[in-house]
Amino acid sequence: MNYEKLMLRAISHANQYKYTAKPNPVVGCIIVKGKEIISEGAHEKFGCNHAEINAINSAKLNLGKSFNSFEELTLICTLEPCNHTGKTGPCTEAIISSGIRNVVIGALDPNPLVSGKGIKKLKKNGINVISGICAELVEEQNKFFFFKNTYKRPFITAKIASSLDGKSHLLDDQKTWITCKESREDVQKLRASVDVILTGGNTVVNDNPLMNARVNFPINQPKKILLSSKTNFNFDAPFFKNANYEIITERSIKNVVNSFGSTDITSILVEAGPKLINSFLNEDYVDKLIIYESTSKLGPNGVDWFKGDNAVEKLGFKLESSYKIKSDTKKIYIK
């Protein structure tokens, strides 16, 4: 049996729900009888059924038609089935109860509540288990989830819009559109991919941003987190209206980042001015830096993003990719 081909199909199926399953990992599941696909399922939405449950429920509709007993079937799942009760019941119990006797798994779940325990439970109940099929692809697909469980903090991306001469904005704090419309549309997709958008008080006051993900497909809108010692904001402003937001007055970046360790949050996008961006960079809490660079210059009246030449490289970042978005250049740096 070519389990790799089926696992790739399950990975692809899961990817459709990357904007609605977050902050959970995306998971795909296929149930087969020999070479025939009986059903498919995915974890479609945070808080709803996991992929295995959806696939089993779908397979039940074919019982007595495509197959006579679940014992004839093999369940193929991209991530190790959970063995604990969270927002839904344990997937291991559903698999055992169904009568399925063979399970093929992509990657082990890094969550300490699950890791290895799901497989152990299945084997203890007489189920044959194969694991490690396309594991690296599953881990890459759920990079934020694996990072969070490895480092006990969210994956943090910092995003900036820069003029050609490395400026953020004009000294008079006048709102300035630096990048083109197409770059700003690209940012919306970036926002849609994360659990949290984090910014500072000056950005909220000076730019009056909405700072949500404005896209034409279903998503779980990222939570907005405002780091500021002030609390006297205009709460009728677009940033706050009808939004899931939190104001954090803690001044220590380390304490702020560590506070997310016990939450579901796996990814944060920092969109702020030079002061807060550099605070995260200097504290070594930025895992990816994205720069949208325009062809225009702001000149001597502009505020620098960084001090000194090659500041990004000196912080240990390497250029991963660089490509054009209309007249702008999008540069992605990683540690």
Q: How many CB atoms lie within 10 A of CB 62?
A: 15
Which pair of structure tokens corresponds to residue 180? Answer: 């083109």
Q: Report the mean per-residue pLDDT for the chain.
A: 94
Predicted local confidence at residue 111, as pLDDT? 86
In which residue are the tokens 């007993």 written?
Answer: 69
Predicted local confidence at residue 174, as pLDDT? 67
Predicted local confidence at residue 89, as pLDDT? 75
Predicted local confidence at residue 306, as pLDDT? 94
Active site residues: 52
Q: Degrees (nearest 5) of the Cα angle 160, 162, 167? A: 115
17: which strand partners? Answer: none
Instruction: Name which of 227, 144, 159 is nearest 191 in CA terms.
Output: 159
Predicted local confidence at residue 167, as pLDDT? 95
Predicted local confidence at residue 2, as pLDDT? 87
Rounded Cα distance, 167 and 303, in Å: 5
Instruction: Name which of 228, 155, 151, 233 is nearest 196 in CA terms.
Output: 155
* Low-confidence stretches of the chain (pLDDT beneath 50): none
HSE-CB for 45 with a 13 A CA cutoff: 5
